[in-house]
Amino acid sequence: GEMACFLGAVFNVVIFSVWTAVFTVPRWNEDVYQPIINDKFYPSVPWAWASYLLYGLMVGLHSLSFWKSVYKLGTVPTAVSKGAQQAGCFIFAHIFFCHIDDKECIDNNHGSGVWSRMQKGVACLMCCLGVVVYALGKRRGAPAGEE
């Protein structure tokens, strides 16, 4: 369990670092720096770095809270929570930001084909379906930790 998690995390760090070194660093100016400078609202490299560091901290806290939830609540309630959270990302992005940026609309995934227009909606439905399956699939009366 714990060793598998650790090795999975190490694998993810290695893959992300290789991607960053091979793809992002050579394109740093056009893919990272220029979009910050070209921002029409608030172009600030220090603000971008502070935001990125805060984002990293939040990702760490989010991961920690996930594993604490698994430990305290069990896998089924945590999985139900994660599925609802994922579906909520699609739904709330559509509700609050679709009128500002059409890329946040649930029927827009950067393409004009039928599948491009369906991807976010299908993903949201799959998350909701996963929540229902996990919630209904939990064994009734199972002792804690044997769900």
Q: How many Cβ atoms from other residues are within 10 Å of residue 123's Cβ?
A: 16
Q: Which of 86, 90, 89, 129 is nearest to 108 (CA)?
A: 90
pLDDT of residue 17: 94
Strands, E assignment, the chain: none
Q: What tens-digit pLDDT sequence spans the chain (147 residues)?
A: 678 878 888 999 999 999 999 999 999 999 888 988 888 777 788 988 999 999 999 998 988 888 888 889 888 788 888 888 888 888 899 999 999 988 888 888 777 788 888 888 888 888 888 778 877 876 555 555 555
N-to-C CA span, the chain: 16
Q: Calculate ∠ Cα 50-32-34, nearest 5°.
A: 110
pLDDT of residue 21: 94
